[in-house]
């Protein structure tokens, strides 16, 4: 089933946030996605960021820097976002396996140039940030404190088909 995208956003203003920071290896002993819910971003040390805080709890979008999700192949990283209702990540770039895992789960890993990411992060610095995603027209609108910014993005036709299908299992099962 196709997921819902966009909503209140949290900014993680750093490059190279890795899968161990997103979900530490000690929780990989869980065999259901739901069991991961409380451990989201538990080991991420970032000024002003609280992994147990209300801001993360309310968020449905993550905005971050380059090479997001580097490290392990663990799909527990996209899953921990999924079970916390975060279906959209907007980053300057991704590690390959993390990006593929996002689309394979029917979620969105959007890439924007560094300057656009910086503009969104600046916009959300002292105000509640909201990101609306218009998937058919490949546009996002970031708004905070009455101001808003629009950006175009692109995703490959294959990745778009995975999002439409709800994930790679659904796509592959109907085709192979």
Partner 1 sequence: MGKTIAQKIFDAHLRDEPFPGAKVLDLDRVFCHEITTPVAIADLEWRQKDRVFDPSKIKAVVDHVTPSKDSKTATQAKILRDWARRHEIKDFFDVGHNGVCHALFPEKGFVRPGFTIIMGDSHTCTHGAFGAFAAGVGTTDLEVGILKGVCAFREPMTIRINIEGTLPEGVVAKDVILHIIGKLGVNGATDRVLEIRGSVVDAMSMDARMTLCNMAIEAGGTCGICLPDMTTVDYLWEFISDDYASKEAALEDYSKWHSDADAHYEQTLTFDVTALEPMVTYGYKPDCVKPVSEMKGTRVDQVYIGTCTNGRIEDLRQAAAVLKGRTVNENVRGIVSPATPKIFKDAMAEGIIQIFMDAGFCVTNPTCGACLGMSNGVLAEGEVAAATSNRNFNGRMGKGGMVHLMSPAVAAATAVAGVICAPADL
Nearer to partner 1, 60 or 76 (CB): 76
What distance in Å separates the CA atoms of residue 137 and residue 142, rounded to the nearest whole number? 15
114 binds partner 1 (CB under 8 A): no
Answer for which of 83, 132, 149, 161 binds partner 1 (CB under 8 A) is: 161
Please tell me the chain's helix, strand, coil percentages from 3-state DSSP, rounded to the nearest 5: 35, 25, 40
What distance in Å separates the CA atoms of residue 7 and residue 142, rounded to the nearest whole number? 10
What distance in Å separates the CA atoms of residue 43 and residue 23, rounded to the nearest whole number? 7
Question: What is the contact mask toward partner 1 in residues 54 to 93, using x (rule: CB under 8 A)?
Answer: ------------xx--xxxxxx--x--------------x
51 binds partner 1 (CB under 8 A): no
30-38, 55-63, 111-119, 141-149 -> range binding partner 1 (CB under 8 A): 30-38
15-23, 53-61, 112-120, 139-147 -> range binding partner 1 (CB under 8 A): 15-23
What distance in Å separates the CA atoms of residue 121 and residue 174, rounded to the nearest whole number? 40
32 binds partner 1 (CB under 8 A): yes
141-160 binders of partner 1 (CB under 8 A) = 156-158
* Residue showing tokens 């203003």: 13
Give the DSSP H/E element, type plus range, for residue 131.
Answer: strand 129-134
């Amino acid at each position: 089933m196709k997921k819902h995208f966009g909503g209140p956003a949290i900014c993680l203003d750093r490059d190279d946030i890795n899968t161990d920071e997103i979900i530490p290896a000690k929780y990989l002993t869980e065999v259901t996605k739901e069991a991961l819910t409380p451990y989201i971003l538990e080991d991420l040390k970032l000024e002003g960021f609280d992994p147990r805080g209300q801001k993360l709890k309310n968020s449905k979008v993550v905005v971050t820097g380059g090479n997001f999700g580097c490290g392990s192949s663990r799909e527990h990283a996209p899953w921990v976002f999924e079970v916390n209702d975060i279906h959209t990540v907007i980053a300057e770039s991704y590690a390959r396996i993390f990006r593929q895992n996002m689309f394979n789960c029917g979620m969105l890993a959007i890439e924007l140039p560094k300057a656009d990411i910086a503009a969104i992060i600046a916009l959300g610095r002292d105000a509640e940030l909201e990101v609306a995603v218009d998937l058919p027209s490949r546009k996002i609108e970031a708004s905070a404190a009455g101001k808003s910014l629009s950006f175009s993005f692109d995703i490959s036709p294959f990745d778009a088909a995975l999002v439409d299908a709800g994930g790679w299992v659904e796509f592959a099962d109907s085709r192979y």
